[in-house]
């Protein structure tokens, strides 16, 4: 017969193992639509990009077991509140409107919003500079909200499910300009397909609409996960991991405070 203390130790070990086995991974929602260089599937269907590497680094630093979960952009917040995912890390800007529904971590990047158009055009990133033009914007984004406030009326707005679709119509001449994040657009105009176009400048800032940077969205009241993500973000900013990942994709910092 085994000594009582060994039986007790065995039971405790089994309990710990059962607890570890039952622990569910943290499902990190990303947009199912490609958004290079932040996130897009490679030829094998694996998601790659700057934001994917940042997610992995944040989760590792926070000692979280995370699982990348693609979700259609227009349903990503309902997926979070409906508990299909546990957090959103999909270039989602921290805005007052979204904070009515969900909470956010600290920012992990912050870049300007720009207008892109054909190199030969005289478009400027102002209501006057876009008057009489067709502006393409991704639906259900801060860019749509901004364009509806500042450009609607004098400018025709055309919405798309993905930024790639707007870019394609810009190249084809079906729209005159598009509005999006400066980093994503810098990647586009540097590509062969975007060689026709250039960044015309940043739009006037509106922190209420454009937000205070990009953060991880979590359910209201999920303070434990939010603080874990904050700790992970702080750690990779402090130890140089954020900078090292950024250097693989961009020529300058995208964490502007």
pLDDT tens, residue order, the chain (257 aa): 434 444 444 444 444 444 433 468 999 999 999 988 999 999 999 999 999 999 999 999 999 999 999 999 999 999 999 999 999 999 999 999 999 999 999 999 998 999 999 999 999 999 999 999 999 999 999 999 999 999 999 999 999 999 999 999 999 999 999 999 998 899 899 999 999 999 999 999 999 999 989 999 999 999 999 999 999 999 999 999 999 999 999 887 888 76
State whether 101 and 130 are in the same domain. Answer: no
Phi and psi angles of residue 180, each rounded to the nearest 5 degrees, phi first: -165, -175
State whether 88 and 127 are in the same domain. Answer: no
Q: Is 211 left (phi over 0), alpha (psi -120 to 50) or beta?
A: left
State whether 58 and 175 are in the same domain. Answer: no
State whether 81 and 191 are in the same domain. Answer: no
State whether 123 and 197 are in the same domain. Answer: yes
**Does residue 131 sit within a domain?**
yes
State whether 202 and 238 are in the same domain. Answer: no
State whether 89 and 122 are in the same domain. Answer: no
State whether 124 and 172 are in the same domain. Answer: yes
**Does residue 181 sit within a domain?**
yes
**CATH number assigned to the domain comprising residue 120:** 3.40.190.10
State whether 34 and 94 are in the same domain. Answer: yes
Q: How many CA atoms lie within 13 A of 127 on its CB side?
A: 9
Q: In total, how many domains does the chain have?
A: 2
Predicted TM-score (pTM) of this structure: 0.73
**Does residue 15 sit within a domain?**
no
State whether 118 and 200 are in the same domain. Answer: yes
State whether 106 and 140 are in the same domain. Answer: no
**Does residue 10 sit within a domain?**
no
Q: Which domain holds residue 173?
A: 113-210
Other CB atoms closer than 10 Å to residue 147's CB: what's the count? 25
**Does residue 9 sit within a domain?**
no
Q: Residue 169 and residue 217: Cα distance in Å, rounded?
A: 31
**Does residue 11 sit within a domain?**
no
Q: How many CA atoms lie within 13 A of 64 on its CB side?
A: 26
**Does residue 145 sit within a domain?**
yes
Torsion of CA 101, 103, 108, 110, to 10 degrees: 40
State whether 158 and 174 are in the same domain. Answer: yes
Q: Are 48 and 41 in contact (CB under 8 A)?
A: yes
């Amino acid at each position: 017969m085994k000594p009582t203390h060994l039986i007790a130790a065995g039971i405790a070990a089994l309990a710990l193992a059962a607890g570890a086995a039952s622990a569910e991974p943290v499902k990190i929602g990303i947009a199912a639509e490609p958004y290079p260089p932040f996130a897009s599937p490679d030829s094998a269907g694996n998601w790659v990009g700057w934001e994917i590497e940042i997610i992995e680094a944040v989760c590792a630093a926070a000692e979280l077991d995370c699982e990348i979960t693609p979700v259609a952009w227009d349903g990503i917040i309902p997926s979070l509140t409906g508990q299909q995912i546990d957090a959103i890390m999909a270039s989602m800007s921290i805005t007052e409107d979204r904070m009515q529904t969900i909470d956010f971590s600290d920012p992990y990047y912050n870049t300007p919003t720009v207008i892109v158009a054909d190199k030969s055009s005289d478009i400027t990133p102002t209501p006057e500079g876009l008057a009489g033009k067709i502006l393409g914007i991704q639906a259900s984004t801060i860019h749509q909200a901004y364009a509806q406030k500042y450009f609607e009326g004098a400018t025709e707005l055309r919405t798309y499910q993905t930024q790639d679709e707007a870019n394609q119509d810009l190249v084809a001449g079906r729209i005159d300009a598009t509005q999006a994040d400066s980093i994503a657009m810098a990647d586009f105009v540097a590509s062969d397909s975007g060689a026709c176009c250039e960044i015309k400048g940043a739009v006037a800032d509106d922190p209420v609409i454009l937000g205070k940077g990009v953060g991880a969205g979590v359910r209201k009241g999920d303070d434990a996960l939010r603080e874990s993500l904050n700790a992970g973000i702080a750690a990779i900013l402090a130890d140089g991991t954020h900078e090292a990942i950024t250097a693989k994709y961009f020529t300058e910092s995208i964490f502007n405070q």
